[in-house]
Structure 1
Amino acid sequence: MIFSRKRAGAGRHARDQRTEALDANELAEPVIPGPPDRGPYDVSEAPAGVQRLDLGSLQIPAVPEVEVRVQADPQGVIQQVVLVHGQNALQLGVFAAPRSEGIWDEVREEIRQSLFNDGAAAQEADGEYGTELHARVRTPDGLTDLRFIGVDGPRWMVRCVYQGAAATDPAAAGPLASCLEGLVVDRGHEAKPVREPLPLRLPREVAEQAGPAAAAAGEAPREA
């Protein structure tokens, strides 16, 4: 290493240059990322002017030929949301997550282990939203393919399960994929335990139309 002696003013000049560069960096406007190109969106980033079915923590975009089926209790609290198009189905769930990191990696491993314990093998694969989980399970109707997708957002995670041809061929998802890309999550500001399901409720007008008998039956179909 070679050291050289500089004039007394050189060091100050160098410091002044560094200071000017630092000041310029500090004065530069921060780069603010724009909204994502597709959903699921946080409610703070959701595009305006889109008709959606408001289920509380989830807002589902209106997509032609997609039926929204919900299982709810007599009070209108939703236990399950399934979107149906032809022979394909997409089950949706939304959960609280930490502010600092996503939880899909951990949840995916727990799903894989649960399937393994039930005698079903599951494999990871790369998908449009990152790492997916593909499995084939035995049901009363025979073997069924499932495709699990997780999307981590700001303090929330959406879990999706495709059934039908869309479970093995993403191109077959069609309008269901459009629903997922337009989905909006309203996390709310309340503190919630990690992985706790976020509250879902029937819209008031739907609950009133369905009535106690329909809610007790557990299904209130609605065209999105």
Structure 2
Amino acid sequence: MIFSRKKADKGRHTARRRERDDVDTGPDEEAPSSGRSTGPYDVSEAPKDGDRIDLGGLKVPVPSGVELRVQADPDGQIQNVLLAADDSLLQLGAFAAPRTEGIWDEVREDIKEQLVQDGASADEIDGPYGVELRGRVRTPEGTTEIRFVGIDGPRWMVRAVYQGRAASDPAAAAPLDAVLEGLVVDRGHEAMPVRDPLPLRLPREMHEQAGVTAPEEAPAAPAAETPAPRKRPSPRPRR
């Protein structure tokens, strides 16, 4: 496993923002079940099968042939979660959502708008989790395929970004699909503003390991910025 210490990239935000109320998602009222037969699962519905690495808001399975890479600050706060398989990457993010509705439709429109503004292609396609975005973006290494998948859960949204061959080749995506299908989201019960990222932290043993070994920087996902309401961090890939 690879660790990289890197400050969070605040990015830029467009002027257009949709105002929402902050959501108090306390334990006095349960959010509706996702009703899904595969993950991402809410922690209340998570199966007991297999081992997962506990990063706080995300419990991440790491199948054989897949490598977990994280970027964390010196305090162990994780800024970026990436899974690598051969020449493909999967970037994961989890964000607070309202109790009564999902936010992927709104976030997808923001991402699509920014991709177009940046001169990249952005096509909506039907995927296993509903409507996705697929496009080609320019990176320092050249042009790469990219695929945005959004999954609305009970009071959370997972944004998964496939890069490289896995963005268009189902066979290459299979090991990373297994990560997404086994993912568990722990939203917690504290009030959080909509679109705020769920807190992620290194487990104690990984934090200690990261503190004594020379970190290798994990590549960040090359993609468009996504606007967020009220200047808060948005569900967008980090550069």
TM-score (norm. length: structure 1): 0.79
Runs of 4+ in 1 over 4 A off after TM superposition: 32-35, 212-215
Moved more, 141-150 or 167-176: 167-176
Residue of structure 2 in register with 1:20 after alignment? none
Cα offsets for 1:111-136 (capped at 9, x unmatched)? 00011111112000000010000010
1:125 aligns with 2:125: yes
Counterpart contact for 1:72–1:218, Cα < 8 Å:
no
Give, in whole Å, the separation in 2 of the partners of 1:33 and 1:115.
33
Residue of structure 2 in register with 1:148 after alignment? 148
Residue of structure 2 in register with 1:101 after alignment? 101
Residue of structure 2 in register with 1:86 after alignment? 86
Moved more, 75-84 or 164-173: 164-173
The residue type paired with residue 176 of structure 1 is L
Identity %: 64
What's the CA shift for 1:34? 9.4
Give, in whole Å, the separation in 2 of the partners of 1:78 and 1:33.
27
Give, in whole Å, the separation in 2 of the partners of 1:84 and 1:39.
19
Give, in whole Å, the separation in 2 of the partners of 1:195 and 1:33.
20
Give, in whole Å, the separation in 1 of the partners of 2:49 and 2:63.
14
Give, in whole Å, the separation in 2 of the partners of 1:161 and 1:126.
15
Give, in whole Å, the separation in 2 of the partners of 1:87 and 1:79.
22
Give, in whole Å, the separation in 1 of the partners of 2:84 and 2:44.
27
- In structure 2, stretches of 5+ residues that fail to align are 1-31, 219-239
Give, in whole Å, the separation in 2 of the partners of 1:147 and 1:98.
25
Give, in whole Å, the separation in 1 of the partners of 2:58 and 2:72.
15
1:134 aligns with 2:134: yes
Residue of structure 2 in register with 1:206 after alignment? 206
What's the CA shift for 1:164? 1.2
Secondary structure at the counterpart of residue 44 of structure 2: coil
1:195 aligns with 2:185: no
Give, in whole Å, the separation in 2 of the partners of 1:155 and 1:34.
10
What's the CA shift for 1:174? 1.5
What's the CA shift for 1:87? 0.6
Counterpart contact for 1:94–1:158, Cα < 8 Å:
yes
Counterpart contact for 1:74–1:212, Cα < 8 Å:
no
- What is the aligned residue count? 187
- In structure 1, stretches of 5+ residues that fail to align are 1-31, 220-224
After superposition, the Cα gap between the structure-2 partners of 1:192 and 1:212, relative to the gap in structure 1 and judged at 3 Å, is farther
The residue type paired with residue 129 of structure 2 is Y
Residue of structure 2 in register with 1:171 after alignment? 171
Counterpart contact for 1:166–1:173, Cα < 8 Å:
yes
What's the CA shift for 1:148? 0.3
Cα offsets for 1:60-99 (capped at 9, x unmatched)? 1131111000000000000000000101110000000001
Matches within 5 A, 1:18-33: none
Give, in whole Å, the separation in 1 of the partners of 2:204 and 2:35.
30
After superposition, the Cα gap between the structure-2 partners of 1:34 and 1:131, relative to the gap in structure 1 and judged at 3 Å, is closer
TM-score (norm. length: structure 2): 0.74
Give, in whole Å, the separation in 2 of the partners of 1:176 and 1:218.
20
Moved more, 43-52 or 184-193: 43-52
Larger Rg: 1
The residue type paired with residue 198 of structure 1 is L
Task: Considering fraction of residues, name the structure with more helix.
Answer: 1
